[in-house]
Amino acid sequence: MSSEVPVWAVIPAAGSGSRMRQDKPKQYLEFQGKTVIEHCLDRLLSHPAIDGAVIVLHADDPIWNELAYHSNKTIFIADGGRERQHSVYSGLTTLQYRCGNDALALVHDAVRPLVNHDDLSRVIAAARAHTAGAILAATQNDTLKLQNDSMEIARTVPREGLWRALTPQVFHLQVLLNALRRIIDDDIAITDDAQAVELAGYSPALVAGNAENFKITTPGDLALAEKIWLNQRNQQDDE
Ligand code: CTP
Ligand code: MG
């Protein structure tokens, strides 16, 4: 029997998707016969190292129950909050209430349906080995420019050592819970979970992840996600 701490996916899905400008939140838009959040859950819950999921929904979520999503693994539901950080915090408290403190929380946006199993395995392994946790991230390929006030180039920023933070971001439950509690108490705005952990004085590990695991954000992104998804399926069929 394995004595490793369990891994739970915590999936913030309480956003409204304002930049997507559709009649429903982007996690409920469909491609290939399934909603974006169902594609995410399929990828996460079919991974053998993931024990279950906490899905964080808006209090007035109109769609989740209608989906009747089924999995053999346990799914808990939590109530979302004003900003993403409040939603993640809510999901973590639900996880703690249900499972105690001895867990790794794998936080993954409900709108990144293209994460692959190899990246999941590697970020989970890194988080097991690293008290500060670990995140998937992608390197920069383009030259980076800093603008001045007139929208001109002020200077070129060296891209060496710069990464784009993706999700999943995986932390020991108590480390992330304590870090987010501080951020929320002090009313600090953050843009990912690692930032809370960094501000608590830790240095989470960077794990190079596939850039196909992008966040559906603006209207053209749904068609792009479908294209990548089909391509990934064809590659799998060839193996
Ligand atoms: N999210 C959440 N609770 C919030 C805000 C966001 O759970 N109060 C979730 C979103 O549902 C999404 C993830 O956090 O799965 C990433 O956020 P983002 O891409 O910003 O989604 P939205 O906030 O929905 O989109 P927008 O910012 O365009 O309104
Ligand atoms: Mg948002």
Ordered domains of the chain (ranges, CATH): 7-238 (3.90.550.10)
Q: Closest ligand 1 atom to the C-alpha of 216?
A: 19
With 0-12 CB in 10 A as exposed, 13-18 as middle and 19+ as buried, what is 15? buried
Can you tell me the distance from the alpha carbon of 4 to that of 195, in angstroms, rounded to the nearest whole number? 26
Spans of the chain below 70 pLDDT: 1-3
| The pLDDT value given to residue 35 | 98
pTM of the shown model: 0.97
Q: Closest ligand 1 atom to the C-alpha of 12?
A: 7
| The pLDDT value given to residue 237 | 86
- What residues pack around ion ligand 2 (CB closer than 5 A)? 15
Question: Ligand 2 centroid vs 56 CA: distance in angstroms?
Answer: 14
With 0-12 CB in 10 A as exposed, 13-18 as middle and 19+ as buried, what is 197? buried
Q: Phi/psi of residue 126, each to 5°?
A: -65, -40
| The pLDDT value given to residue 3 | 66
Q: Name the helix (H) or strand (E) containing 223.
A: helix 221-238
Which bound ligand lies closest to the C-alpha atom of 16?
A: 1
Q: Closest ligand 1 atom to the C-alpha of 112?
A: 15
| The pLDDT value given to residue 239 | 81
| The pLDDT value given to residue 158 | 94
Ligand 1 binding pocket includes 90 (Cβ within 6 Å): no
Q: Name the helix (H) or strand (E) containing 23.
A: none
| The pLDDT value given to residue 144 | 96
